[in-house]
Amino acid sequence: DSTRVINLSAGPCSLPELVLQEASRGLLNFNGTGIGIAEISHRSPEFVAYINDVASMIRIELDVPPTHHILFAQGGGALQFSTVVLNLLARHRLLHPDLLDSERVMDYVLTGWFSDMALNEANRMGGGRTNVVVDARLYSSCGKFDNIPSHEAYRFSPDPALIFYCENETVDGVQFSDSTDTTSFPFHLLPQGKGPLPLVADYSSSFMSRPIPHLADHAVIFASAQKNIGPAGLTVLIVRHDCLVDSDAAAKLGAASIPYTLMYKTLADNGSLFNTPSVFAIYVTGLVIRRLRDLGGVVYIDAVNKRKAERLYAVIRDGEAKGVLRARVAEGKGRSLMNVVFDFYDSEVQERFVSNGEACGIKGIRGHPLVKGTRLSIYNAVTEDQVNTVVAYMRDFLAQHS
Ligand code: PMP
């Protein structure tokens, strides 16, 4: 469709065009039922089969073991910041009923805007206290979230109620590496010997962009759909069975009551159909994941995503050599493959980069209002051809401005 532009927004973002065409047919008639997907009952056999199929595709693509449930929720990644606290504090309460709230510790790994938001939410919740495992700003030359600290910096608590990290920081453009270098998540340093780890990961902006390292060691992985896999309105959860906690039993011991819609156990007991789920978002997500599977799955898209990011960082290197701009995250410090963030030294040049880009059909590249700069988000549906067009635009722009 030639009316469409290159959309590098941080989310919602591009979805595959073929999927959008199929979804428009599904809006009129879902899987031959004669009823559109936004009109059909979530309890119809056709939709129940569909939602189960989406869960099994995710299970197969990410190699999710039988110990973990795949659940569909609403409220976005942001609601999970409090939801994981409620569920995992209740779990901890059942395991250790005699501890004082001040002895119930939640560990936070601070690497950017979203993990900081999660920490703030936990601090508002009560029922436990937080501990900052590491604050990446202390390892930055300018006090910013611009790096993944190396492994020596992490200080986990001995028996925390949860350990939170954000795999890809969408605003700041930092991401844990998937290799075993010092910018990978330090799984080897996690407290051992106290039963299954309460490890929580926010994968909102990197879910299904590549395989998830150590997936089986996680208690909860959550992701809002609107970056890599679908429209806003759906949150995908991968929850280990020991985190399906009975809120009423924990409440008898003093834990906060968890609303039914936020209890992982309720979602699991009802096949994610306790109340009406985001039917349309689940539908489109299913189409996206099926297409990803047919293309070669997360291993295939991982290779594509690495090539895309490498091309953009290569032009950024040229811009740095010319003294025009600077990558927010230095090489080897945990650069994101999803959100490529950089700053022009001259703010007028920066503005021109954004407005000329829009005039050329490259949209959504202004940095987050809080951190400013330029951000190119290259989620799964952004194609290599589109990235090549962006690279050509950047090269031209740099030639004119150096
Ligand atoms: N975590 C991360 C890493 C995100 O990128 C976002 C959304 N930008 C959120 C959480 C919040 O998700 P939502 O807006 O769906 O609540």
CA 168 / ligand 1 centre spacing (Å): 10
pLDDT digits (tens, 9 = 90+) for 201-233: 999 999 999 999 999 999 999 999 999 999 999
| Structural tokens at position 258 | 């968890």
For 246, residues 6+ apart whose C-beta sits below 8 A from its C-beta are: 265
pLDDT of residue 186: 97
String of b and e for 141-150 (b: at least 16 CB within 10 Å)? eeeebbbbbb
pLDDT of residue 401: 93
Cβ < 6 Å from ligand 1: which residues?
11, 76-78, 114, 166, 170, 202, 204-205, 224
pLDDT of residue 85: 98
- CATH architecture observed for domain 297-400: Alpha-Beta Complex (3.90)
Average pLDDT over residues 335-342: 98
pLDDT of residue 301: 98
Nearest atom of ligand 1 to the alpha carbon of 168: 3
The amino acid present at 85, given as its one-letter code, is: V
pLDDT of residue 188: 96
| Structural tokens at position 244 | 């399906």
Ligand 1, pocket-test mutation among 145, 170, 175, 226, most atoms within 8 A of CB: 170
Is the pLDDT confidence value at 370 over 90?
Answer: no
Closest residue by CA, ligand 1 atom 4 = 204
- Three-class DSSP category at 220: strand
194: confidence class by pLDDT, cuts 50, 70, 90: confident
pLDDT of residue 198: 98
46: confidence class by pLDDT, cuts 50, 70, 90: very high
pLDDT of residue 279: 98
Nearest atom of ligand 1 to the alpha carbon of 80: 16
Closest residue by CA, ligand 1 atom 2 = 204
What is the Cα–Cα distance from 246 to 289, expressed in whole angstroms?
Answer: 32
Please state, for a pLDDT cut of 70, what percent of the chain lies above it: 100
Nearest atom of ligand 1 to the alpha carbon of 10: 8
29: confidence class by pLDDT, cuts 50, 70, 90: very high
Quick one: CA dihedral 32, 38, 44, 50, positive or negative? positive
Average pLDDT over residues 71-92: 98
Closest residue by CA, ligand 1 atom 15 = 76
| Structural tokens at position 153 | 């910096």
| Structural tokens at position 388 | 């090549």
pLDDT of residue 293: 98
pLDDT of residue 1: 83
- Three-class DSSP category at 68: strand
CA 13 / ligand 1 centre spacing (Å): 13
| Structural tokens at position 167 | 């795999």
pLDDT digits (tens, 9 = 90+) for 279-295: 999 999 999 999 999 99
What is the Cα–Cα distance from 380 to 386, expressed in whole angstroms?
Answer: 12
2: confidence class by pLDDT, cuts 50, 70, 90: confident
pLDDT of residue 229: 98
ipTM over 0.95: yes
CA geometry: angle at 95 spanning 91 and 97, to 5°?
100
Q: Of 85, 252, 255, whose CA–CA distance to 161 is shortest?
A: 85
Q: Of 339, 343, 351, whose CA–CA distance to 320 is shortest?
A: 343
Ligand 1, pocket-test mutation among 114, 221, 371, most atoms within 8 A of CB: 114
CA 321 / ligand 1 centre spacing (Å): 33
CA 203 / ligand 1 centre spacing (Å): 9
CA 204 / ligand 1 centre spacing (Å): 6
CA 172 / ligand 1 centre spacing (Å): 13
Average pLDDT over residues 43-51: 98
What is the Cα–Cα distance from 195 to 2, expressed in whole angstroms?
Answer: 55
Closest residue by CA, ligand 1 atom 9 = 77
Contact of 84 with 222, CB cutoff 8 Å: yes
What is the Cα–Cα distance from 382 to 62, expressed in whole angstroms?
Answer: 21
CA 119 / ligand 1 centre spacing (Å): 14
Is the pLDDT confidence value at 193 over 90?
Answer: no
Ligand 1, pocket-test mutation among 205, 341, 375, most atoms within 8 A of CB: 205
The amino acid present at 386, given as its one-letter code, is: Q
pLDDT digits (tens, 9 = 90+) for 247-291: 999 999 999 999 999 999 999 999 999 999 999 999 999 999 999
- Helical ranges in 7-66 per DSSP H: 17-28, 45-62
What is the Cα–Cα distance from 152 to 129, expressed in whole angstroms?
Answer: 23
Mean pLDDT of the chain: 97
CA 117 / ligand 1 centre spacing (Å): 10
Instruction: Report the length, in residues, of the chain.
Output: 402
The amino acid present at 78, given as its one-letter code, is: A
**Phi/psi at 255 (5° precision):** -75, 160
Helix then strand then coil, % of the chain, to nearest 5: 40, 15, 40
- Helical ranges in 322-383 per DSSP H: 347-359
What is the biggest distance separating any 2 CA atoms in the chain, rounded to whole angstroms?
Answer: 68
Q: Domain coordinates of the chain in residue numbers?
A: 27-293, 297-400
Contact of 402 with 318, CB cutoff 8 Å: no
Please state, for a pLDDT cut of 90, what percent of the chain lies above it: 97
- CATH architecture observed for domain 27-293: 3-Layer(aba) Sandwich (3.40)
Tokens 């099926």 found at: 290
CA 402 / ligand 1 centre spacing (Å): 36
| Structural tokens at position 347 | 């703010």
Ligand 1, pocket-test mutation among 175, 224, 236, 262, most atoms within 8 A of CB: 224
| Structural tokens at position 370 | 């809080």
pLDDT digits (tens, 9 = 90+) for 95-134: 999 999 999 999 999 999 999 999 999 999 999 999 999 9
